[in-house]
């Protein structure tokens, strides 16, 4: 396993030399380890656990973040919960978009592993940090972070606290202003070319949040606003997004 040519990635990481097959392969490392290696690795095989951990750290040093694999350590090694939490928390606080998105993806998988009783509970500070990134519209990795947070809301809604729900609902009007398509680049936090995808994502998030209020007597005003705004949006993707995610099973 240690023979994988990580040094080749280091040598070309700062060059604009076209596609790099080594980097492309390393980007699949998280999926490979999480599906084929970590769930069956013997807990007492300390040498192999250390080998994989060292390899992952080397890969991270060249700007590739296989963070999807990290929660799968916990299937066989729940004692690593603290170290994995620290890594994901640092990643979620990063200003590197790929790093943030990879951590958010890993967090989503951790939530589902816990939901299926295969891993310890997700530390609340991880979800809080992801919620704050989205609610306060931190730009690096914002589309991926929002998408993975929506997945958590739909798949493991019990992990979203009342305060986190309140924070996300309270951000919806500011998100509407930030993704208005009629604004120029100078008028908004995000470039005009970025806004369509972000607007679809926030319509999805509003729809997902609406699910949390199904048993409540009233729906928050900002969710109702997005429901109506989405229904009349010029983009067909936005018109579909709220409805599909408010009803998704």
pLDDT greater at residue 16 or residue 210: 210
Token couple for 38: 């970590």
Whether residue 15 lies inside any domain: the answer is no
Q: Are 146 and 31 in a shared domain? A: yes
Residues ≥6 apart with Cβ < 8 Å to 11:
none
Does residue 14 fall inside a structural domain?
no
Q: Is residue 12 part of a domain?
A: no
| 71 & 174 share domain | no
Is residue 167 located within the same domain as residue 244?
A: yes
Residues 6 or more apart from 49 whose CB is under 8 A from it? 41, 73, 77
In the chain, pLDDT over 70 holds for what percent of residues?
A: 89
Backbone angles phi, psi at 31, to 5 degrees: -65, -40
Claim to verify: residue 24 and residue 119 sit in the same structural domain: yes
pLDDT reported for residue 19: 60
Residues 54 and 175 in one domain: no
Q: State pTM to two decimals.
A: 0.88
Domain membership of residue 179 (yes or no) is yes
One domain, residues 37 and 100 = yes
Q: What's the pLDDT tens digit per position in 7-30?
A: 444 454 444 445 667 777 778 888
Of 153, 133, 151, 150, the closest CA to residue 142 belongs to 133
- Number of helices and strands in the chain (H, E): 13, 0
User: Based on the domain organization, do 150 and 183 belong to the same domain?
Assistant: no
Among residues 140, 159, 178, the one where a domain terminates is: 159
Q: Which of 159, 191, 212 is the C-terminal boundary of a domain?
A: 159
Same domain, 44 and 123: yes
Residues 47 and 139 in one domain: yes
**What confidence tier does 119 reach under pLDDT thresholds 50, 70, 90?**
very high
Instruction: Please give the tally of structural domains in the chain.
Output: 2
In a domain, 190, yes or no: yes
193 and 94 in a common domain: no
- Residue 32 belongs to a domain: yes
Other beta carbons within 10 angstroms of residue 3's beta carbon come to: 5
Question: Are both 142 and 227 inside the same structural domain?
Answer: no
Is residue 246 included in any domain, yes or no? Answer: yes
For the segment 57-68, the average pLDDT, to the nearest whole number, is 90
* Single residue among 159, 175, 193 that ends a domain in this structure: 159
Q: Is residue 245 part of a domain?
A: yes
* CA pair distance 238, 23, nearest whole angstrom: 34
The domain of 196 spans 161-249
**Domain identity same for 68 and 185:** no
**How sure is the predictor about 186, in pLDDT bands with cuts at 50, 70 and 90?**
low
CA nearest neighbour of 129 among 90, 174, 170, 73: 90
Give the pLDDT confidence score for residue 12 in this predicted structure: 43
């Amino acid at each position: 396993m240690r023979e994988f040519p990580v040094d080749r990635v280091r040598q070309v990481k700062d060059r604009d030399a076209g596609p790099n097959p080594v980097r492309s392969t390393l980007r699949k490392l998280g999926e490979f380890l999480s599906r084929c290696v970590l769930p069956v690795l013997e807990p007492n095989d300390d040498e192999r656990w250390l080998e994989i951990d060292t390899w992952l750290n080397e890969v991270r040093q060249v700007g590739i973040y296989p963070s999807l694999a990290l929660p799968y350590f916990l299937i066989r090694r729940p004692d690593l919960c603290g170290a994995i939490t620290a890594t994901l928390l640092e990643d979620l606080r990063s200003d590197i978009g790929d790093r943030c998105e990879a951590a958010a993806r890993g967090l989503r998988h951790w939530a589902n592993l816990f939901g299926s009783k295969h891993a310890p509970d997700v530390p609340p500070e991880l979800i809080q940090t992801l919620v704050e990134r989205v609610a306060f519209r931190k730009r690096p990795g914002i589309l991926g972070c929002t998408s993975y947070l929506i997945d958590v809301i739909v798949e493991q809604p019990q992990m979203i606290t009342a305060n986190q729900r309140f924070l996300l609902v309270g951000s919806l009007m500011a998100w509407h202003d930030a993704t208005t398509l009629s604004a120029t680049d100078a008028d908004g936090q995000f470039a005009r070319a970025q806004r369509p995808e972000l607007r679809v994502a926030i319509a999805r998030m509003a729809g997902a949040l609406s699910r949390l209020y199904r048993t409540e007597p009233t729906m928050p005003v900002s969710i109702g606003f997005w429901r109506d705004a989405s229904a009349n949006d010029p983009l067909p993707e936005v018109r579909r997004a709220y409805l599909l995610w408010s009803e998704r099973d």
